[in-house]
Structure 1
Amino acid sequence: MAFLAAGVLHRPQVSALRAAKCAPRGAYRQLRRTMTTVKMADAGEATGEQVAAGPVVPEGFKPPTPKTFQVRPDQLLNIVSGSVSSLARAYSGAVVDGYSLSIKNGSLSEKSTTLPAARPAQPLVLFDIESCPFCRKVREALCILDLEVYIYPAPRGGVRFRPLLEEMAGKSQFPYLIDPNTDFAAYESDDIVTYLFKTYGDGSVPLALRLGPLTNISASVSSGLRAGRGMSTPSKKVFPEKALQLWGYEPSPFVKIVREKLCELELPYLLYNTARGSPQRITLKERVGRFQVPYLEDENTGVKMFESAEIVEYLEMVYGDKAAGATAKVPDGLKGVMPKLQSSDKADN
């Protein structure tokens, strides 16, 4: 369970990636051939490139004690609007595909009766805008299917992953999903959702995700209720070398406000989906002694913490426009890089 190193996916050759920009099948095969995965150099090691100023945690900072079912008074309206936002989507993503509830030895048992026990060898990759209704559809599908996914946020005005996607795949359009386990890479949300359920489910797309225009309308209403949070980015921020890690599930209003801040600050993260019935709930409880989301681990600073409001404050304090080392430009050493974790460093499953 240690997190001691990080991997990066270096910029592939542009011509090969553009050739794969939209085709849902066969597109990723050539893309994979041009990618080179390497280990991140240790801090201070000579790499021939400008080294990014690392995030700095203010002296005396301590993660808060986790509390159950408590909302800070100043966050009440925020949580209420997040709850109504999820209600507009009928809380799609709250439970895994094939969710089953039973009682064993006097205790509740939650699981999926349809999802395969074996999970993909590698997390999927999603270029995402938190407030985009089409991105939401894909995130819901990933949550229902209990899939781990690297999120590379691309808010309006973003300078890190938005230009990278355009160079990689030919246009800046979202969502864009890459599955390194197969030969799939595509933009269109409906194509992505169909692919995910055919590949990692029983092939049947849930009703909430296959109503066509009605799905798009409800997803748009859901995003609109959040008044554009997670849509744009500040002019300056701190760019981390390593991906953060977040445990949570799509319709949780507490998780949502954390995802919004991660998106606004262009912070890449590995998302462990924890819908009801997900084994990740048990894994998280074994890892930290309780199940409560959101839960964030930041390998860049060593900080591990619960509590959504405090997580948002931490992210703003360490990575926001007033943080030490905040800059308007992506450091040379991080350009064209998609931060990832080595398989030995991410959370054990």
Structure 2
Amino acid sequence: MYAAFFTESSLKKGSLSMGLFGNHYERAGSGIAKNAPKKKGIFRFFEIFGRKFWKLFELNLLYFLSFLPVIGAVALFFAVDSQLGTILAAACLVLFAVIIGPATAAHTKILKNFIMEKPTFLAHEFFHTFRTEFKHACIVGVLDCVLACCISAAFYVYPRLIEQTGSKMFYVLFAITLSIGVIALLMNFYIFPMLVSTNLSLKNVLKNSLALSVVALKTNIITILVLAAVIAVYVLVLMFVNIRYSMILLFLLPVMPASWLGLVITFQSYPVIQKYIINPYYEQRGEVNPELAQTVTDEEETVFEDRGGEEKPIEPAKKSGGKSSGGRSHKGKGKIIS
């Protein structure tokens, strides 16, 4: 479809280092094949993570903007010692519940583009998805916030009721509440990637997310273990490390680790959505999922062909007496490429 006459891929790492530190600075490598096989599993994850490392910082900063109402609510609650302060703090929390869903959808859309290796204009894509997915994502965000409040209340209320009454019924209710919380967490692994990738109704998105939380249980457990490990590191550092050093983690929250964790979740969940939701849809229509289709098919006419990985390395011309192999000298004219 196109040709790049001068590309960075035409220089291998090995030949570049030889050019800097050896005497083979004129040697060009064979390039990198356009359709070279992709890495799989954890190796592909870290390849994407390394390539998008600084972009993840920028994305985390954009996503962090949606948490400013929470910071404002805390500041107002403690700084304004009056009923007005409480009302303003509550208003900030309501604002957070409204915008966190669309912000998470936008965050997920960009992470999905990273995983699918699609070019993305970060800020434009973020705010565009925030607007287009606002309705359904807002509903999901509000439901998540309400559920989070209920589970937090359960952690506070049920242990005290058990201690006061000794009734085993409260153990059952507490266990049911925790189970609902875990299921909701697993569903969220799939809700937002499905919202930004399909045209399904919200009802079907929730239904499919519930099914995938059970069908892909092994994948979900791995995802939860990774999230738990990162969160545990944060908590342990804040609890047991000198406050002068542990506070550094709090100051890093605007740039990490939300996008890192989001990348783990999307990397794990989106292939499951492709396998069970997207691919079957195209198979029923006798079509191929465009995300899996080849960029250039056999039927397409190509003007230029990418020969990366097939070209023969170009050896430098042997020099003697300060002259090139052609016996000509080009003083002051620099290197001539013929």
- Give the alignment's TM-score, normalised by structure 2: 0.23
Larger radius of gyration: 2
Q: Give the number of the structure whose residues are more often helix, by fraction.
A: 2
- Give the alignment's TM-score, normalised by structure 1: 0.23
Q: Give the number of the structure whose residues are more often strand, by fraction.
A: 1
